[in-house]
Structure 1
């Protein structure tokens, strides 16, 4: 088990709806068992604010986001879907295009008000597939929008005052091994083991080539 730098505090991670952290939090808690990790769901509209306010140390954000003063690592893309009532005509097809939605009232915020409008067939929701899956309901379904631009998820943190464990969490997200995710400071603090002394030759002192006594 790797031991991170001791700073007396854990790490607080924000994430926007639709992001699944299970893989990364499981690795962290196995690798850094004595270091608390708290995860907090953050509304997309608040993703920059919570970083600026220091309410989270890092945040899984949905792009676009204003990056001034932030470090940002792009991670993956999300497939766009349209979320509709199961009674809506779109539910009868396998996929749609943007042209198919031209005469629909299209919402993009998956808040309770929007979801209720979808259920009543007043509107449809165009959202990332991850959100439709996370908030799945029996009376709703979703279909891919084949020509819509995908959304993107990234990991962001402040340039100033980063948490001492930021490097370790980035290493977990990027799939580094416990050894390779150590920070430069940790490597510098680790004393280099002494090189082993060269092995003595077994023939030394035996006087190879001396004549035998008779």
Structure 2
């Protein structure tokens, strides 16, 4: 490596509510020489971060522009309504959009749902961010519909939430520019998909080849027995001696001394 070349690194963008810690841990275990940098970005800005080349991959909310990005859907979140802890809605285990028709519902500017406006009564103005809307819910001004991960992320002691069974849902995906599918991107795809370290899919070709070369002599040595070395003629001479002993043993079993011959009879 020349002095002008940069050390390899990997940049992962992720949106609020997504927890990449488990995948980052696996990355650090498998590729300790390549640092992974985390970049948190608002849901609306994450795709542009990838498009500009400021991140290698992103954990984003769908939809994304599939003419430019590749995307692997990971999971779909439960949608909940965030309410003050003493609100009447807390008496139910789950609610519907119809149950929210008479409530003031906030529609923050960073809302992740693809709808023109939430159900219920609109607020006088739209909060700038979801955390701002959470503050207004805590002040008992109105309610907020969000993915469950955001309700957990911005949780407070004076608020709670309930599932909304017929509300739109938000899906999270691993996404990256299709034309920028590098070896490191393939490595991270393999980690997210749960492939083992020994899998050649989703890994750089150099790593896979090196791994196979390390395994071949080990597998060959374990599966084959080493030939037994013998002195020249050792096995044959040993067998001949054994055969000779057996032959002598059989001859000796007849008595060892020659049998006596009797006197010839006279002819009458």
* 2:183–2:203 CA contact under 8 A, matched in 1: no
Deviations 1:15-46 (A, max 9, x none): 11111112111222222222211111110111
The correspondence of residues 55-66 of structure 1 with structure 2, limited to 5 A, is 55-66=54-65
For 1:190 and 1:136, how far apart are their aligned partners in 2? 46
* 1:11–1:163 CA contact under 8 A, matched in 2: no
Deviations 1:50-85 (A, max 9, x none): 110111111001112222221111111211100112
Gaps of 5+ in 2: 1-5, 112-128, 249-268
More strand by share: 1
After superposition, the Cα gap between the structure-2 partners of 1:161 and 1:141, relative to the gap in structure 1 and judged at 3 Å, is same
Deviations 1:134-154 (A, max 9, x none): 111122211111222432111
1:142 maps onto 2:174 in alignment: no
Question: Highest Rg: 1 or 2?
Answer: 2
Work out which structure has the larger RCO, using CA pairs closer than 8 Å and 6 or more positions apart in sequence.
1
* 2:14–2:59 CA contact under 8 A, matched in 1: yes
Greater Cα shift, 59-68 or 125-134: 59-68
Secondary structure class of the residue paired with 2:244: coil
Secondary structure class of the residue paired with 1:115: helix
More helix by share: 2
Greater Cα shift, 112-121 or 149-158: 112-121
After superposition, the Cα gap between the structure-2 partners of 1:189 and 1:91, relative to the gap in structure 1 and judged at 3 Å, is same
For 2:55 and 2:188, how far apart are their aligned partners in 1? 13
Deviations 1:170-199 (A, max 9, x none): 122122221115333432455644656874
1:48 maps onto 2:47 in alignment: yes
Secondary structure class of the residue paired with 1:169: helix
Instruction: State the Cα RMSD in Å.
Output: 2.7
Gaps of 5+ in 1: 1-6
1:200 maps onto 2:227 in alignment: yes
Secondary structure class of the residue paired with 2:39: strand
Secondary structure class of the residue paired with 1:146: coil
- Give the TM-score taking structure 1 as reference length: 0.83
